[in-house]
Amino acid sequence: MLAAVASLMLGSNLISAGQVVHALIDSAADLDAIVWGSRVPRTVLGIVVGFALGVAGAVMQGQTRNPLADPGIFGVSAGASLAVVVGVYVLRVNSPLVTSALALVGAVVASVVVFAIATAGRGLASPVPLAIAGTAVSALLGAITSFLVLTDQTTLAAYRIWVVGSLSGRNLDGTAAMVCLVAVGLVLAGLNAGSLNNLALGTELARGLGESLWRARLVGLAAITFLTAGAVSLAGPIGFIGLTAPHLARALVGGDHRRLLPASGLVGVLALLGADVIGRLIGGQAEVAVGVVLATLGGVVFVVIVRRAKLVAL
């Protein structure tokens, strides 16, 4: 809540809390353009993306039972990046809306491929093949992306801006579809929480408790794909939250996924909005992209917390 208010207030033009409320209610006010035109969409976006990534990360780590698993290892971010780069390379796409759509398609295709590979090798019973297949596919897609980027300066110019992830320069048109996608993902994640608690005991024990592995994996992976694909197409590949928010949430509320998922989402929102505000403030007119601030400062904060906290292992 506080982070959201701060996000509305702060920026290269400081606006007081009273003026924000005034502008929100009375559309005639001067600051209306800044608040409604730029800050509100941006804050909403930050909340949606941060929550989606936090929850997706928690589901991913629950599914793979691996502290190094982030939603990206499922191929989603790599697929989205490749689709965007191919779009620029082949079609010279520069409209944000088409870029978002391309990212979405790439993300979904990549995650379906990873799932198919993992299931072909009886991967559902153990979380390890899923993680390895995802890493291998991500690396392959990443290699193609780097190849295209290195051979073409125009593509590099577009890619290096997109890849750090940013909340700025987006408007609310066309985001409704992505938000729906995220909402579907959240529902699926909620349905998956009980299964994740069972999976945490090990697959044999989970099966003994009457858990259908197929259903548990499919629901969980669909949730991850929807959440991450939505977030990536909204704000670009913001990497840090999905990996670290679950660890912080686990230190706060423990390992029960029914509490862990929402807590991880809230940590994600806090981190993303906080980083966005800091990025706006320290950069002055040329603001620093949220992905950069998030990784740089978030990494430091994460290290400090991990050093102090009593760790709850997966």
Partner 1 sequence: MSGVELKARRDGIMLGPVGLPWRPRVLAATAVVAVVAALVFAGGIAAGSSGLSLPDVLAALAGVADSATSFIVTELRLPRAAAGAAVGACLGLAGALTQTFSRNPLATPDILGVTSGAAAGAVAAIVLGGGGYSVGASLLGFGIPVVAAVGGLVAAGLAYGLAWRGGVDSYRIILIGIGLTASLGGLTSYLLVRAQLTQASAASQWLVGSLSGISWASVWPMLAVLGCAVPVLITQAAGLTLGQLGDEFSVSLGLAVQRHRLIVIGVAVLLTAAAVSAAGPVGFIAFVAPQLAQRLAGTARPPLVASALTGAVVVLAADVLARSLLPGEIPVGIITAVIGAPYLIWLLIRRKDVR
User: Using CB under 8 A as the criterion, which residues of the chain lie in contact with partner 1 when the complex forms?
Assistant: 66-69, 73, 117-118, 120-123, 126, 128-129, 131-133, 135-137, 139-140, 142-144, 146-147, 149-151, 153, 156-157, 160-161, 163-164, 239-240, 243-244, 247, 288-289, 291-303, 306-307, 311, 313
| Long-range contacts formed by 85-93: CB under 8 A, 24+ apart | 85/145, 85/148, 85/149, 85/155, 85/159, 86/148, 88/154, 88/155, 88/158, 88/159, 89/148, 89/152, 89/155, 92/154
Whose Cβ is closer to partner 1: residue 29's or residue 305's?
305
User: b/e map of 75-104 (b: 16 or more CB within 10 Å)?
Assistant: bbbbbbbbbbbbbbbeeebeeeeebbbbbb
Instruction: Find the shortest distance in angstroms from Cβ 160 to partner 1.
Output: 6
**Cβ atoms of 77 and 84 closer than 8 Å:** no
What is d(CA 293, CA 2) in angstroms, rounded to the nearest whole number? 19
Whose Cβ is closer to partner 1: residue 85's or residue 188's?
85
Whose Cβ is closer to partner 1: residue 35's or residue 295's?
295
Instruction: Find the shortest distance in angstroms from Cβ 174 to partner 1.
Output: 25
Whose Cβ is closer to partner 1: residue 37's or residue 254's?
254
Instruction: Find the shortest distance in angstroms from Cβ 119 to partner 1.
Output: 9
**Cβ atoms of 250 and 267 closer than 8 Å:** no
Whose Cβ is closer to partner 1: residue 20's or residue 273's?
273
Instruction: Find the shortest distance in angstroms from Cβ 305 to partner 1.
Output: 8
Whose Cβ is closer to partner 1: residue 101's or residue 110's?
110
What is d(CA 237, CA 161) in angstroms, rounded to the nearest whole number? 11
**Cβ atoms of 64 and 287 closer than 8 Å:** no
Instruction: Find the shortest distance in angstroms from Cβ 245 to partner 1.
Output: 12
Instruction: Find the shortest distance in angstroms from Cβ 149 to partner 1.
Output: 7
